[in-house]
């Protein structure tokens, strides 16, 4: 339930209603928009009498939220949320590109890739230190050493870093080194991990599960918000369909759908979304055109030698070209 207050409502009245709602057993989330205060009620709203609230002259209207997600819903929070990642803001009018290798491979390699992507205008470094691989025999990541190299690359370039925490045992360690913690597609419904992310002070990048509906995706974001962390960025990275030509089917319609349903920023990852480097630039352009706040792009100096996901990694010159084009699209969209 959402109580929209009239612009003329005095502060004392807003506070009085908030106290009353809390006394009836629900949590109240206040959001102050342009000239309007909105009170979003979560939890048990059974004791609330809607006609009593509507009788208050300072109440504009009462809305029932028809979605199961509340804190993630635009009805609760009409203004776009801006997430700040150590100096980089996502969701407030500039295109954020997180780029880098699929996996951190060595200190020198990461330093080189980081300095190249910065020259092309990237705003963040991505790179996995713990890799969720389909095969137990594939490269699993450098672990804590990888996190150390990410921190060094951040210090050398000034760009914040994002890296994945695959489970609860490693969460605190990842949190210590990085600026933004990624929860990968395979963990989108790891509810224990989502609760832990909700207790973190750092922003979370939540990737869409490969067979998750948009509603399930937003419910996972709701877990993080409900546990106290308001800094969630969503990432569409493709879903599994009957199509096998591409690694996944990049669901770009999810971007405008999520913009309607939610106030959270959304990025698109056309690298995992397509699995083929030739498709990364076209889908990045499309993603920006449909409203993405940011992109996540895998970049490698020698994709044929990459420890993982070489087939979908852009070389520096192609990354540069993609950056130039997407910035032009962003400027006119
Ligand atoms: C990644 O970004 O490193 C990754 C593994 O992506 P996803 O979880 O989307 O597969
Ligand atoms: Mn990858």
pLDDT per residue over 168-188, tens digit each? 999 999 999 999 999 999 999
Q: What is the DSSP string of 50-111?
A: HHHHHTSTTEEEEE---SS--TTBTTT--SPP-EEETTEEESSSS-EEEEE-SB---HHHHH
In which residue are the tokens 């699209």 written? 329
Ligand 1 centre to CA of 330 (Å) is 24
Helices (H) and strands (E) in the chain, counts: 11, 14
High-pLDDT (> 70) share of the chain, %: 100
Domains of the chain: 2-63 (3.30.70.1140), 83-332 (3.20.20.70)
Least confident span in 34-38, 280-284, 320-324: 34-38
Residues around the ion ligand 2 (C-beta < 5 A)? 102, 309
How many angstroms does the Cα of residue 68 sit away from the middle of ligand 2?
Answer: 31
Q: Which helix or strand (DSSP H or E) is residue 189 part of?
A: none
Q: How far is CA 132 from the centre of its chain?
A: 18
Reported as a pLDDT band with limits 50, 70 and 90, residue 64 is confident
Point out which residues pair with 314 in neighbouring strands.
299
Instruction: For ligand 1, pick from 125, 128, 246 the residue to mutate: most ligand atoms within 8 Å of CB.
Output: 128
- Separation of CA 272 and ligand 1 centre (Å): 7
Name the closest-CA residue to atom 9, ligand 1. 185
Ligand with smallest separation from the Cα of 134: 1
> Ligand 1: which of 184, 270, 311 to mutate, judged by most atoms within 8 Å of the beta carbon?
184
**Where does the pLDDT of residue 65 fall: very low under 50, low under 70, confident under 90, or very high at 90 and above?**
confident
Give the atom of ligand 1 at the shortest distance from the alpha carbon of 164: 3
Residue 196 predicted with pLDDT over 90: yes
For residues 304 and 306, give the distance between their C-alpha atoms in angstroms, rounded to a whole number: 6
User: How far is the centre of ligand 2, averaged over its atoms, from the C-alpha of 271 (Å)?
Assistant: 7
Three-class SS of residue 253? coil
Cα-to-centroid distance, 184 and ligand 1 (Å) = 5
Contact 72, 225 (CB under 8 A): yes
Whether residue 157 has pLDDT greater than 80 = yes
pLDDT tier, 16 (very low <50, low <70, confident <90, very high otherwise): very high
Ligand 1 proximal residues by C-beta, below 6 Å: 102, 128, 132, 164, 184-186, 207, 237, 269, 272
- Cα-to-centroid distance, 273 and ligand 1 (Å): 10
Could you identify the atom of ligand 1 that is nearest to the CA of residue 132? Answer: 5
Q: Is the pLDDT of residue 34 over 80?
A: no
List the structure tokens of 192: 């224990």
Rounded to the nearest angstrom, the distance between the alpha carbon of 14 and the centre of ligand 2 is 48
Tell me the ligand closest to 236's alpha carbon: 1
- Which ligand is the nearest neighbour of the Cα of 296? 1
CA of 276 relative to ligand 2 center, distance in Å: 11
**Mutation test of ligand 1: which of 124, 164, 236 has the most ligand atoms closer than 8 Å to its C-beta?**
164
Taking the C-alpha atoms of residue 175 and residue 156, their distance in angstroms, rounded to an integer, is 19
pLDDT digits (tens, 9 = 90+) for 108-147: 999 999 999 999 999 999 999 999 999 999 999 999 999 9
Does 73 score more than 80 pLDDT? yes
């Amino acid at each position: 339930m959402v109580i929209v207050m009239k612009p003329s409502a005095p502060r004392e009245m807003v506070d009085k209603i908030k106290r009353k709602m809390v006394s009836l057993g629900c949590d109240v989330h206040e959001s102050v928009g342009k000239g309007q205060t909105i009170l979003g009620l979560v939890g048990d709203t059974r004791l609330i009498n809607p006609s009593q609230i509507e009788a208050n002259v300072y109440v504009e209207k009462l809305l029932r939220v028809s979605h199961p997600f509340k804190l993630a819903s635009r009805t609760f929070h009409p203004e776009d949320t801006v997430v700040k990642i150590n100096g980089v803001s996502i969701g407030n009018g500039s295109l954020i590109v997180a780029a880098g290798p699929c996996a951190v491979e060595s200190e020198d390699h990461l330093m080189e890739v980081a300095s190249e992507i910065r020259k092309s205008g990237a705003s963040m470094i991505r790179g996995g230190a713990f890799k969720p691989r389909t095969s137990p025999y594939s490269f699993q990541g450098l672990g804590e050493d990888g996190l150390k190299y990410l921190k060094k690359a951040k210090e050398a370039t000034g760009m914040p870093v994002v890296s994945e925490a695959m489970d609860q045992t490693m969460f605190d360690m990842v949190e210590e080194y990085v600026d933004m913690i990624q929860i990968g597609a395979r963990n989108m419904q790891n509810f224990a991990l989502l609760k832990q992310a909700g207790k973190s002070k750092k922003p979370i990048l939540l990737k869409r599960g490969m067979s998750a509906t948009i509603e399930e995706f937003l419910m996972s974001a709701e877990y993080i918000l409900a546990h106290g962390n308001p800094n969630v960025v969503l990432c569409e990275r493709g879903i599994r369909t009957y199509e096998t030509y591409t690694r996944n089917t990049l669901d770009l319609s999810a971007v405008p759908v999520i913009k309607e349903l939610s106030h959270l920023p959304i990025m698109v990852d056309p690298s995992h979304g397509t699995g083929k480097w030739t498709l990364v630039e076209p889908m990045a352009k499309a993603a920006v055109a449909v409203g993405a706040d940011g992109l996540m792009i895998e970049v490698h100096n020698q994709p044929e030698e990459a420890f993982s996901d070489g087939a979908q990694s852009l070389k520096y010159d192609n990354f540069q070209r993609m950056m130039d084009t997407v910035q032009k699209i962003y400027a006119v969209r």
